[in-house]
Structure 1
Amino acid sequence: MTGPAQSIQQVLSLIQSGQAEQALLKSDAALSQFPNQPNLLHLKAVALRRLNRLSDAIPVLQTAISGDPRNEEMLNTLGNMLKAAGDLEGAVQAYRRAIDAKFGYAPAHKNLVNLLLDLEGNDEAISSVEDFLRATGRLDADALEAQGRLLKHRKAWRKALTSFDEALQRNPAHVAAAYGRASCLVEIGQTEVCRDICLSLIQAGHQAPQILRLLARSQMELSAFGVAEPALQQAVAAGSSDAVKDYTNLLWMTGRTQDAETLLKGAISAGADRPQQALAGFDELLDMERPDLVESYFDYLPAERQTDPVFLSRLSMAQSDLGKTEEAFQNANIAYSALPHHKVLAYQFIVSCLMSGRYDLALKYADIWRAREPNDQSWVAVKADAHRMLGQLDAYRALNDFDRFVIPAELEAPKGYASMEEFHADFIEQVHGKSPFKTHPLGQSARHGIQSPRNLVYDERPVVQNYIEALHKPVQAYVDQLGQDPDNPLTSRNTGEFYIGGCWSIYLLAGGRHVSHVHPKGWVSSAYYMAVPPEAKTDPNRAGWIKFGEPPYKLPDPAPAEHWVCPKPGTLVLFPAYMWHGTVPISGKAPRVTAPLDVLPGVAP
């Protein structure tokens, strides 16, 4: 009779060769001979995961761990599965148990740091990186690279560069550190150096999708689309779901909409073997405002994918956009019930509750998720909508106090400019004058417009940095007058200090607008006007005006915008990041140019 060690090796070989179905059959046969053998159960769980049967895999793995509770590899795998299921708190605990079982186990340290960064748990991530560094005596290039990623996540690009450089000193062949270094350089405007590092890595045989994607990004920023496109095609062929999104965006922004739709149809059609790429395909179609294609392409999925909660949630989103509110709710309910810790599924469930008139249910779950993620502005926005629809106007007005929280201010001419007109003209020419793109990037609020490609906070051109400097005085005045009421999500985070975490510029074309949106990771948001079309002063429909309070989804009861501000060049409008805000479409051919920013409390990292 074959012993457990031989069976384990056979199952492992099948998994490694991509034969997950056969591995599952072999593991079941072996478990009939060796019931509850932990390593066999572990491999069975891995095979189930490869077959996209995540909800079946997790309890099998938990049974394996009950038989070997200090097996760091199993605990790390459990963390990965719980993360995929959306149980992020459970994943954190699993990674910590793995580290407790073996403090020097690097995979769990890395996974924990990555997850904490995704959760915006910077304090915990800092502690975890410090543990990793301590476990290796700061001699391990992996630990230094993890520190660089932490700093990069906090957008401390130059500090991150130092950590990546130190990791490369320890190990000059450390590919992740070289990649991290390149990814920081592109953020601070050293695009050519980033490109050259990527090319060197690729020439050395390192063609991981993230390297190809970074090369493509640098080439796109250098307007070398002909070089960027093959890199993205290669990354897509390698199975990268992020590359599907990047390539779609390139095709979309350069006016090749039909090519983009063909790419996404192919990604969805291959959903049996590449589920993450298929999921990316649905997400991009939703961003392209093609819910009809999401609904029709859903039939291309194999049956097991059509019942998968994550895919079902995308169908629900499309049905919401198509006005099929009851079908959207039913599918969102099924998906969220299966994965109740999954943030994306939770948000769609709450939105489907609002759209189908289940306001009490929406408020209940908005409160649950607001307690879990108090700094995510999305939960505040849907909570406010629930209060409004329930007629709980005191609670609604406490959040959406437009007169108190929406404050226009006038910007003084940045240094080096004799007038605002001179500054605006120079800024628009330098930031937008040579844009090769034809339309807005996907996943943003702008429609029929062009967006600057990079976070302008780190753009070293004087016209940009002088603008950033000029913003500090009016923003500080806004922060000073807010107060520190602990019961309000805006004022409770007020420390009296702030930093500008993000800044970009939007050039709206004829018919351009911003759909209503919030800034989930923000605190105070803004609109600053550099050019305003003439109809903003005369149009009875308020063309080009910024509006507040109207959600992007249709509710059974009226929920129109309640507050408007007329745009004027030189005006900075500040407001809470959780307030729904959008614009009335411009009607003429003259552009509307803004340079918004996101303000965060505290001191910049």
Structure 2
Amino acid sequence: MKTQARALLAALAPADANSVFRATATAVKHGLYDEALAPLESAAKRHSRDARIWQILGLAHRGREDSVAARDAFAKAAQLAPGDPLIAHSLARVTMEAGFPAADLFARAVAMAPDDGAVRQGYAAALFAESRMDEAIAMLDAALARSPAWTAGHETATRLRWMRGDGNGSTVTYERALAAEPGRQDLWQSLISLLLQGERFDEALTVIARARAALGPQPILDGLDTVCVAERGDIEAADRGFARLGPIRHVSMAVRYARHLLRAGRALEAAAFAERWIDADPDFLMTPYLAVAWRLTGDARWQWLEGDPRLIGVYDIGARIGALDALAARLRTLHLATRQPLDQTVRGGTQTDGPLFARAEPEIRALREAIVEAVEAHVAQLPAHDPRHPLLAAPRGPVRFAGSWSVRLSDAGFHVNHVHPAGWLSSAFYVALPDGAIGGDRHDGWLTLGEATELGLDLPPIRLIEPKPGRLVLFPSTMWHGTRPFAAGERLTVAFDVARPND
């Protein structure tokens, strides 16, 4: 598809606004932001009264995480087409991503598209970014009272309540909706899945029992029940559950079964099962479990998968960024929640919301620039292309980010061992560390790679990395990673996933 998009760019007629729009919109849709930029900037001068050109220019800048330029382009588009709800939403979105107040812009976008759930979710995020969490929750509650089947709204309201500290009361909107319509399978499934993401397995099993009483026998509930008991570590119950489910046909459930086999101590069986999915797993979701199984069974293929030292990079880049104290001060202003997100791996800390590297503050822009340079250097030294390797199969292209955020851990805080299935390369960049609380015999606060303790496995890490202010660590997103707890103080980091390049 990118080949066709490039052909359209090459054939566009600059004097024809429709031709420019079709070609550049197709290019942006397929991620060709850099290639679309020059013809769009030229067209914006030539067709300066065409809102569509400014709109696509805004999308191209947004794809490049240049949020200020994106905001300026969407502002021009909104001036030319003030009644266009999509342009209004886009302007609000990039304004928020750039780090500017956007709640009023979202309020206008909601008024123009009151039934668009994505706009309301953006409005909630903008209110949260302006330290107006209670207003965000109240707005979502009102929308859910009118549209109780809006599952995404329930999920957002629950996550916000959890970060506010509502605890068991976080799911109140689900409970209201299900009390009124207990036959809504989509609501039951959404609630159970959210509890699973938050590792609240006992609560999820209780909800599954309630859902069965309301809906009767349902295969989806049997699958969710089996996942719950497996993740809780009930080996015999999980064996029975997976046996009742029959042959596994989807990679997401296959991953759950591989996790169960490893947790049950059946590494040979896990390896054989995971290997059967290699050619049916284009997103490499099974790779972390195959890596663990091969290590446990002494399979030499693990060396090919994770053993090359060039896959992991440690780079001290603080001097390129400038004053880390200023960066730390900026990041602290972005940690608005009182507790960790419901569905993340942070324990004893908070995580920022939204794409950090899209923000306009000079400290963040300098950090992003230094990190892009370091990632480019790391990618340049990787081993040669290997079409079967989860990291090395990808083409080497421009650095794009699939996500970026900051984590602030405090006393005894840590990251549960985990992987990042949405990324290609993952990372840790250290901004501030507590004096005297890092290190020692237990390597307090250190980054661990290859240690899958979440599965109850006694595998030593393949590498322990000491954190230092200004240090960047890069590693494959399929590699298990976590942190050791530390006694006291603040551990402030930035993390990101580099998006998998494609043709």
Which residue of the partner structure matches residue 4 of structure 2? none
Aligned match for 2:411, one of 507, 510, 514: 510
- What does residue range 377-456 of structure 1 map to in structure 2 within 5 Å? 377-392=284-299, 394-401=300-307, 403-414=309-320, 417=322, 423-433=323-333, 435-456=335-356
2:469 equivalent to 1:469: no
Q: Once the 2 structures are TM-superposed, how far is the Cα of residue 262 of structure 1 from its aligned partner? A: 4.3
Structure 1 CA distance for aligned equivalents of residues 173 and 309 of structure 2: 47
Q: Deviations over 1:386-436 (max 9, x none)?
A: 3233332x1122222164422222114245x3xxxxx22211211213633
Which residue of the partner structure matches residue 200 of structure 1? 108
Structure 2 CA distance for aligned equivalents of residues 306 and 365 of structure 1: 32
Q: Deviations over 1:21-76 (max 9, x none)?
A: xxxxxxxxxxxxxxxxxxxxxxxxxxxxxxxxxxxxxxxxxxxxxxxxxxxxxxxx
Structure 1 CA distance for aligned equivalents of residues 450 and 253 of structure 2: 24
The amino acid across from 1:340 in the alignment is R
Instruction: Decide which structure has greater helix share.
Output: 1
2:429 equivalent to 1:523: no
The amino acid across from 1:424 in the alignment is L
Task: Give secondary structure in 2 for the equivalent of 1:574.
Answer: strand
Which residue of the partner structure matches residue 596 of structure 1? 495
Q: Once the 2 structures are TM-superposed, how far is the Cα of residue 446 of structure 1 from its aligned partner? A: 1.1
Which residue of the partner structure matches residue 340 of structure 1? 249
Q: Residues 541 and 336 from structure 1, CA distance in 2 versus in 1: closer, same or farther, beyond 3 angstroms? A: farther
Q: Once the 2 structures are TM-superposed, how far is the Cα of residue 473 of structure 1 from its aligned partner? A: 3.5
Q: Deviations over 1:346-374 (max 9, x none)?
A: 33233223333454554455345543443
Say which one has the larger Rg.
1
The amino acid across from 1:510 in the alignment is D
2:117 equivalent to 1:214: no
Q: Deviations over 1:73-130 (max 9, x none)?
A: xxxxxxxxxxxxxxxxxxxxxxxxxxxxxxxxxxxxxxxx9xxx9xx9979xxxxxxx
Q: Once the 2 structures are TM-superposed, how far is the Cα of residue 519 of structure 1 from its aligned partner? A: 1.3
Which residue of the partner structure matches residue 6 of structure 2? none
Aligned match for 2:236, one of 311, 323, 326: 326
Aligned match for 2:257, one of 326, 349, 356: 349
Q: Once the 2 structures are TM-superposed, how far is the Cα of residue 257 of structure 1 from its aligned partner? A: 1.3
Q: Deviations over 1:134-174 (max 9, x none)?
A: xxxxxxx9x99998999799676869889989998998655
The amino acid across from 1:400 in the alignment is E
The amino acid across from 2:126 in the alignment is S
Q: Residues 324 and 364 from structure 1, CA distance in 2 versus in 1: closer, same or farther, beyond 3 angstroms? A: same
Task: Give secondary structure in 1 for the equivalent of 2:441.
Answer: coil
Structure 2 CA distance for aligned equivalents of residues 199 and 228 of structure 1: 11
Which residue of the partner structure matches residue 179 of structure 1? 89
Aligned match for 1:251, one of 161, 185, 190: 161
Q: Once the 2 structures are TM-superposed, how far is the Cα of residue 514 of structure 1 from its aligned partner? A: 0.4
Q: Once the 2 structures are TM-superposed, how far is the Cα of residue 493 of structure 1 from its aligned partner? A: 2.0
Which residue of the partner structure matches residue 293 of structure 1? 203
Q: Residues 243 and 400 from structure 1, CA distance in 2 versus in 1: closer, same or farther, beyond 3 angstroms? A: same
Which residue of the partner structure matches residue 39 of structure 2? none
Task: Give secondary structure in 2 for the equivalent of 1:512.
Answer: strand
Q: Once the 2 structures are TM-superposed, how far is the Cα of residue 220 of structure 1 from its aligned partner? A: 0.7
Q: Residues 225 and 305 from structure 1, CA distance in 2 versus in 1: closer, same or farther, beyond 3 angstroms? A: same
Structure 2 CA distance for aligned equivalents of residues 249 and 440 of structure 1: 10
Which residue of the partner structure matches residue 487 of structure 2? 587
Which residue of the partner structure matches residue 459 of structure 2? 559
Q: Residues 400 and 307 from structure 1, CA distance in 2 versus in 1: closer, same or farther, beyond 3 angstroms? A: farther
Q: Residues 465 and 165 from structure 1, CA distance in 2 versus in 1: closer, same or farther, beyond 3 angstroms? A: closer
Task: Give secondary structure in 2 for the equivalent of 1:199.
Answer: helix
Q: How many residues align structurally?
A: 455
Q: Once the 2 structures are TM-superposed, how far is the Cα of residue 333 of structure 1 from its aligned partner? A: 5.3
Determine which structure has greater relative contact order: mean sequence separation of CA pairs < 8 Å that are 6+ residues apart, divided by chain length: 2
Structure 1 CA distance for aligned equivalents of residues 158 and 426 of structure 2: 28
CA contact (8 A) 1:528 1:596 kept: yes
Which residue of the partner structure matches residue 9 of structure 2? none
CA contact (8 A) 2:416 2:454 kept: no
- What does residue range 14-33 of structure 1 map to in structure 2 within 5 Å? none
Structure 1 CA distance for aligned equivalents of residues 216 and 184 of structure 2: 14
Task: Give secondary structure in 2 for the equivalent of 1:502.
Answer: strand
Q: Residues 535 and 287 from structure 1, CA distance in 2 versus in 1: closer, same or farther, beyond 3 angstroms? A: farther
Aligned match for 2:390, one of 481, 489, 505: 489
Q: Once the 2 structures are TM-superposed, how far is the Cα of residue 594 of structure 1 from its aligned partner? A: 0.9
Which residue of the partner structure matches residue 37 of structure 2? none
Calculate the TM-score normalised by the size of structure 1: 0.66
Q: Residues 196 and 490 from structure 1, CA distance in 2 versus in 1: closer, same or farther, beyond 3 angstroms? A: same
CA contact (8 A) 1:287 1:443 kept: yes
Which residue of the partner structure matches residue 223 of structure 2? 313
Q: Once the 2 structures are TM-superposed, how far is the Cα of residue 440 of structure 1 from its aligned partner? A: 1.6
Structure 1 CA distance for aligned equivalents of residues 294 and 127 of structure 2: 47
Structure 1 CA distance for aligned equivalents of residues 266 and 62 of structure 2: 37
CA contact (8 A) 1:271 1:278 kept: no
Task: Give secondary structure in 2 for the equivalent of 1:400.
Answer: helix
Task: Give secondary structure in 2 for the equivalent of 1:440.
Answer: coil
CA contact (8 A) 1:530 1:594 kept: yes
2:448 equivalent to 1:547: yes
Structure 1 CA distance for aligned equivalents of residues 63 and 358 of structure 2: 13
Aligned match for 1:240, one of 108, 129, 150: 150
2:473 equivalent to 1:573: yes
The amino acid across from 2:139 in the alignment is A
Which one is further off, 497-506 or 156-165?
156-165
Task: Give secondary structure in 2 for the equivalent of 1:198.
Answer: helix
- The alignment yields a C-alpha RMSD, in angstroms, of 3.8
Q: Residues 296 and 473 from structure 1, CA distance in 2 versus in 1: closer, same or farther, beyond 3 angstroms? A: same
Q: Residues 534 and 314 from structure 1, CA distance in 2 versus in 1: closer, same or farther, beyond 3 angstroms? A: farther
Q: Once the 2 structures are TM-superposed, how far is the Cα of residue 502 of structure 1 from its aligned partner? A: 3.2
The amino acid across from 2:492 in the alignment is V
The amino acid across from 2:462 in the alignment is E
Q: Once the 2 structures are TM-superposed, how far is the Cα of residue 299 of structure 1 from its aligned partner? A: 1.3
CA contact (8 A) 1:340 1:346 kept: yes
Structure 1 CA distance for aligned equivalents of residues 240 and 76 of structure 2: 52
Which one is further off, 198-207 or 284-293?
198-207
Structure 2 CA distance for aligned equivalents of residues 149 and 517 of structure 1: 35
Structure 2 CA distance for aligned equivalents of residues 493 and 433 of structure 1: 37
CA contact (8 A) 2:452 2:480 kept: yes
